[in-house]
Structure 1
Amino acid sequence: MANTLFLLSLSIIWLMLLYHMFLMQGGYLHFLRYENTIPQWRANLKVYPKVSILIPCHNEEVVIENTLKAMVKLKYPPEQLEISVINDNSNDRTGEIAEGFAEKYPFVKVVATEGEFAGKGKSSALNYGLSQSTGSIVVVYDADNTPESMAVQYLVMAMVNDPKAGAIVGKFRVINAKKNLLTRFINIETICFQWMAQAGRWFWFKITTIPGTNFAIRREILDRLGGWDVKALSEDTELTIRVYDLGYHIRFFPAAITWEQEPENGKVWWKQRTRWARGNQYVIMKFLLKVFTLKRKGIIFDLIYFFFTYFLFFFGVILSNILFFINLFVDLELKIGNVALILWVLAYFLYITEVMIALSIEKTEMNIRNFFVVLFMYFTYSQLWILLVMYALFLEVKRVLFKQEVKWYKTERFTIDKGS
């Protein structure tokens, strides 16, 4: 029995590793090709549609000034731009700082949430901001984001040239990557997500997940869908499934770049990632039972992938670790001990290879320091995710059983110094 379980767990782990290598190949090919479309797309952008940028904010005085400084430098016709700072029950200087920009720039406005929309989290704030906006294209940025000057124009350019795209997703990078070891881990994780999960899935399957920031979506789609799901902690993933189910695809276009702040200590990271994991688990359970009624059959594969990632893969890793640990003290008569060791070593090297390929795409990230960070990352940061997913699953099960209300956790911000 122990041998069967051990083989099962190893099979699950290797299946995921090989699939991620397949995605990484697609991501690298997408990197080589995506810029080829830009000259023609730029020529086709003769009329700039009205764009509404929604920035949900709750106590963001630490970061909102830098964000708005980046927003007012966007290379997009100001008469076709509407930047809405959605002030959601802030009790700091967020509103005051935003109002200062609104007085100087006519395309910046401050919208304060009211009534049933106030203090309910990001989804609710976005829904209120949407109701107060007028653009035919809606772009979302988190309050800690500083998009590059061409970011919005690239998002719009891709959408105008791809009528089948319901949304366009850009790339995000970590602005405080060099702060400490944790932010270096997150930086590497983020780069892998961009080029493996986003670019790879787009290249092979024309599937991309809407992130929480730096994306554009057609207003008509949001109107048809009724906006964002206020019960979803990962409102971005949940929205992704519904956009695909309308028959649209979501394009990954990494020319549109934003820089965002990431957690700088373990406590903030744990809370943020727990929200992400719970949110994705909610989405899986919400749509997995409806999997055969979804109109866009391609998204079924992605739902299965999410299910595999957040349930089966972590189950496989946990099971193999438990069996390995028990076997140190009790002879389980594992007959594949040497083979398992070889497979584990090969899996480790495959993991390193995948990550280094992703880092090679970003010119500044392929260096000796990051190589050693990756070696260490597998035994620390990656293993911590296992505990986090288990904890998130426990919280989700408890929420469902006891019918608890979903509570939104806003990620704590940090002052960015010049050395970060």
Structure 2
Amino acid sequence: MALFVVFTALYAYQIIYVAVALFHKKPMPMTAKQNHRYAVVIAARNENTVIGNLIDSIKKQKYPQNLIDIFVVADNCTDNTADVARRAGAIVYERFNTQLVGKGYALSYVLNQIAQDYGENTYEGYFVFDADNLLDENFVAEMNNQFDKGYRILTCYRNSKNYASNWISAGYSLWFLRESKYLNYPRMLLNTSCAISGTGFLIHNDIIRKNHGWKHHLLTEDIEFSVDNVINGETIGYCGSAKLYDEQPCTWKQSWTQRLRWSKGFYQVLGKYGKRLVKGFVVDRRFSCYDMFITIAPAIFVTLSSIIMNLIFMLSAFHGTTVNPLIITTTATSIFSSVANFYVILFVMGVITTITEWNEIHAKPAKKILYTFTFPFFILTYIPISIAALFKKIHWEPIPHNITKSIEDFEQPQNQ
């Protein structure tokens, strides 16, 4: 119970986030005074099935096409991703390096090539996408509106191409919807920093130049980028009207592999930046540093610690000449309460997100309702994944994508 109280205290500010997101009046939309020139950067490894649809959705943006150049880094590809991307209208760089593997290294390569071939100051900002993404037709224009206000890093509203596939894809999707609506949106309203989430973000050229391209190469290069920039005083903005769709894993094997990398990457970021984040909120009194520290802290271990402690007490009841039924009953009840408490918290989180984002979720109503019940189980599966990540040596591995929907598929009514 004491651990649950500690957990609640540490994360109580996120309840305020929910209240702010629910009750704050949406600000009036503003149109940018200037259309800026952007490079779109796509890291792709064996993505010939989906990359054409992403490029097509970029070509259909309601934004001057002469201000958008699309660059693809075909990274260690063994298929025809490069040819598909070229035919779709992208500028393609092919990279073959089996020693430095991962999205961070691919971004380093392509950004350096762009600077070399097109100049360091040709583009005012750089969009970064994964090959399986699709963009709403107003994506670039909406991000440009926020960029024009002075934000040097921006993230977007992350939706899913395959919410309805099964409970695993829905678990991912609901988490990202919740992150957009109830983390990044209130952060933006409260003038603290948001965090980018893997894809669909925009970086000012000044930051690219300062970093000499892309310098973040841990297993979760996105959260490393976010934490590093928050520590250095950047405020990451959010544009909820810029909508992106991406594909989520559907099999347990794919999900285990991906989340194992994420968990290990969070440990890496915590180890590398944890002290500086603590200094940021203890000494410099910067709330964004506290928020980022809580974001990368392994919260699932609070539940795990409670279960382990009670199991130890339960085993001790069997040790000796007599069995103490009171200890067994008490510890069993405590273990059940710990799991139940976190299930309820996660369920409420999922219900609130499902209700408010109902029209954004592309699934039949029955599945929307069903997957609010399975969402807590999806999150609780992080317990074994987090344990394995502590001991297992993990390398970056690509997740295959095969959902071949186009952006037009998401312009249809959602309840289908």
- TM-score for both structures, normalised by structure 1: 0.82
Report 1:144-183 matches (<5 A).
Answer: 144-161=132-149, 163=150, 165-183=151-169
Q: Deviations over 1:34-84 (max 9, x none)?
A: xx332xx21xx2331110000011111121111111111112211111110
Q: Is the 8 A contact 2:171 2:375 kept in 1?
A: yes
Once residues 77 and 248 of structure 1 are traced to their aligned partners in structure 2, the CA distance between those partners, rounded to angstroms, is 29
Report 1:130-279 matches (<5 A).
Answer: 130-133=111-114, 134-161=122-149, 163=150, 165-204=151-190, 206-279=192-265
Residue 376 (structure 1) shift:
3.4
Answering whether residue 335 of structure 2 is matched by residue 353 of structure 1, we say no
Aligned residue identity for 1:144: D
Residue 349 (structure 1) shift:
3.7
Answering whether residue 50 of structure 2 is matched by residue 37 of structure 1, we say no
Aligned residue identity for 2:378: Y
Residue 51 of structure 2, aligned match among 64, 73, 77:
64
Unaligned runs of 5+ in 2: 115-121, 318-323, 410-414
Residue 16 (structure 1) shift:
5.3
Answering whether residue 352 of structure 2 is matched by residue 370 of structure 1, we say no
Question: Which residue is equivalent to 2:15?
Answer: 21
Residue 191 (structure 1) shift:
1.6
Residue 46 of structure 1, aligned match among 14, 25, 33:
33
Q: Is the 8 A contact 2:40 2:126 kept in 1?
A: yes
SS of the aligned residue for 1:86 comes to strand
Answering whether residue 92 of structure 2 is matched by residue 110 of structure 1, we say yes
Q: Is the 8 A contact 2:278 2:293 kept in 1?
A: no
Residue 286 (structure 1) shift:
0.7
Question: Which residue is equivalent to 1:122?
Answer: 103
Q: Is the 8 A contact 1:146 1:259 kept in 2?
A: yes
Change in Cα spacing, 1:356 to 1:53, as seen in structure 2 (3 Å) is: same
SS of the aligned residue for 1:232 comes to coil
Once residues 217 and 8 of structure 2 are traced to their aligned partners in structure 1, the CA distance between those partners, rounded to angstroms, is 34
Question: Which residue is equivalent to 2:60?
Answer: 73
Change in Cα spacing, 1:271 to 1:348, as seen in structure 2 (3 Å) is: closer
Residue 159 (structure 1) shift:
0.9
Q: Is the 8 A contact 1:75 1:150 kept in 2?
A: yes
Q: Is the 8 A contact 2:228 2:273 kept in 1?
A: no
Aligned residue identity for 1:111: Y
Q: Identical aligned pairs, as a percentage?
A: 20
Change in Cα spacing, 1:92 to 1:12, as seen in structure 2 (3 Å) is: same
Moved more, 409-418 or 46-55: 409-418
Aligned residue identity for 2:293: I
Q: Deviations over 1:363-398 (max 9, x none)?
A: 3349454333222332x3122111111111223xxx
Q: Is the 8 A contact 1:156 1:216 kept in 2?
A: no
Question: Which residue is equivalent to 1:83?
Answer: 70
Answering whether residue 304 of structure 2 is matched by residue 306 of structure 1, we say no
Q: Is the 8 A contact 1:169 1:252 kept in 2?
A: yes
Q: Is the 8 A contact 1:51 1:81 kept in 2?
A: yes
Residue 100 of structure 1, aligned match among 66, 82, 87:
87
Moved more, 56-65 or 239-248: 239-248
Once residues 267 and 415 of structure 1 are traced to their aligned partners in structure 2, the CA distance between those partners, rounded to angstroms, is 17
Q: Deviations over 1:287-319 (max 9, x none)?
A: 113346657933321243135x41xx3222112
Q: Is the 8 A contact 1:166 1:243 kept in 2?
A: no
Residue 146 (structure 1) shift:
0.5
Answering whether residue 384 of structure 2 is matched by residue 390 of structure 1, we say no
Moved more, 334-343 or 408-417: 334-343
Q: Deviations over 1:106-125 (max 9, x none)?
A: xx3112236x7986321111
Q: Is the 8 A contact 2:139 2:242 kept in 1?
A: yes
Q: Is the 8 A contact 2:231 2:289 kept in 1?
A: no
Q: Is the 8 A contact 2:63 2:141 kept in 1?
A: yes
- TM-score for both structures, normalised by structure 2: 0.83
Q: Is the 8 A contact 2:76 2:94 kept in 1?
A: yes
Change in Cα spacing, 1:117 to 1:159, as seen in structure 2 (3 Å) is: farther
SS of the aligned residue for 1:258 comes to strand
Once residues 112 and 153 of structure 1 are traced to their aligned partners in structure 2, the CA distance between those partners, rounded to angstroms, is 29
Answering whether residue 275 of structure 2 is matched by residue 289 of structure 1, we say yes
Aligned residue identity for 1:354: M
Residue 396 of structure 2, aligned match among 405, 408, 414:
408
Q: Please, what is the CA RMSD of the aligned residues?
A: 3.0
SS of the aligned residue for 1:209 comes to coil
Once residues 255 and 152 of structure 2 are traced to their aligned partners in structure 1, the CA distance between those partners, rounded to angstroms, is 31
Residue 246 (structure 1) shift:
3.6
SS of the aligned residue for 2:262 comes to helix
SS of the aligned residue for 2:236 comes to strand
Change in Cα spacing, 1:72 to 1:263, as seen in structure 2 (3 Å) is: same
Change in Cα spacing, 1:73 to 1:286, as seen in structure 2 (3 Å) is: same
* Runs of 4+ that moved beyond 6 A: 334-344, 417-420
SS of the aligned residue for 1:37 comes to coil
Residue 183 (structure 1) shift:
1.4
Once residues 286 and 306 of structure 1 are traced to their aligned partners in structure 2, the CA distance between those partners, rounded to angstroms, is 15
Once residues 19 and 136 of structure 2 are traced to their aligned partners in structure 1, the CA distance between those partners, rounded to angstroms, is 27
Once residues 341 and 280 of structure 1 are traced to their aligned partners in structure 2, the CA distance between those partners, rounded to angstroms, is 28
Q: Is the 8 A contact 2:159 2:177 kept in 1?
A: yes
Moved more, 148-157 or 21-30: 21-30
